[in-house]
Amino acid sequence: MNKPKIRTAITPTREENYAEWYQSVLKAADLAEHSAVRGCMVIKPWGFAIWENIQRILDAMFKATGHQNAYFPLFIPLSYLQKEAQHVEGFAKECAVVTHHRLEKNSEGKLVPAGELEEPLIVRPTSEMIIGHTFAKWVDSYRDLPLLINQWANVVRWEMRTRMFLRTTEFLWQEGHTVHATKEEALAETMKMLEIYSDFCHQYLALPVIRGEKTESEKFPGAVNTYTIEAMTQDRKALQSGTSHFLGQNFSKSCEIQFQTVEGTQEYGWTTSWGVTTRLVGAMIMAHSDDDGLVLPPRVASAHIVIIPIIHTQDASEKVTSYCEEIASQLRKIQYEGQPLRVVLDTRDMRSGEKSWGWIKKGIPMRLEVGLREIDAGQLGVCRRDKPHKEKTPFAVENVVAILEEIQSNLLAKATQFRDQHTVEIETKKEFYEFFTSKGDEIHGGFALCHWNGDPAIEEKVKEDLNVTIRCIPLHVPVVEGKCIFTGEPSKQKVIFAKAY
- What pLDDT shows up at residue 284? 98
Q: Is residue 239 a part of any domain in this protein? A: yes
Q: Is residue 9 a part of any domain in this protein? A: no
Give yes or no: residues 444 and 373 share one domain: no
**How far, in Å, CA of 136 to CA of 252, rounded?**
8
Using CA atoms in the order 299, 301, 304, 308, what is the torsion angle rounded to 10 degrees?
-170
Using CA atoms in the order 303, 364, 335, 347, what is the torsion angle rounded to 10 degrees?
60
- What pLDDT shows up at residue 338? 95
Give yes or no: residues 254 and 284 share one domain: yes
Q: Is residue 293 a part of any domain in this protein? A: no
Contact 408, 414 (CB under 8 A): no
- What pLDDT shows up at residue 1? 45
**How far, in Å, CA of 198 to CA of 202, rounded?**
6
For residue 242, give the H/E element and its range. strand 238-248
Q: Is residue 7 a part of any domain in this protein? A: no
Number of domains in the chain: 3
- What pLDDT shows up at residue 2? 56
Q: Is residue 12 a part of any domain in this protein? A: no
**Residue 494 belongs to what domain range?**
422-498
CA distances in angstroms from 128 to 76, 174, 243, 277, 452, listed in the order given: 10, 13, 14, 16, 32
CA distances in angstroms from 310 to 59, 354, 372, 427, listed in the order given: 40, 12, 8, 59
Among 418, 435, 469, the domain-final residue is 418
- What pLDDT shows up at residue 324? 97
pTM for the predicted model, two decimal places: 0.96
Give yes or no: residues 80 and 34 share one domain: yes
In this prediction, the residues of the chain whose per-residue pLDDT falls under 70 are 1-5
Q: Is residue 1 a part of any domain in this protein? A: no
Q: Is residue 5 a part of any domain in this protein? A: no
Among 418, 433, 453, the domain-final residue is 418
Q: Is residue 392 a part of any domain in this protein? A: yes
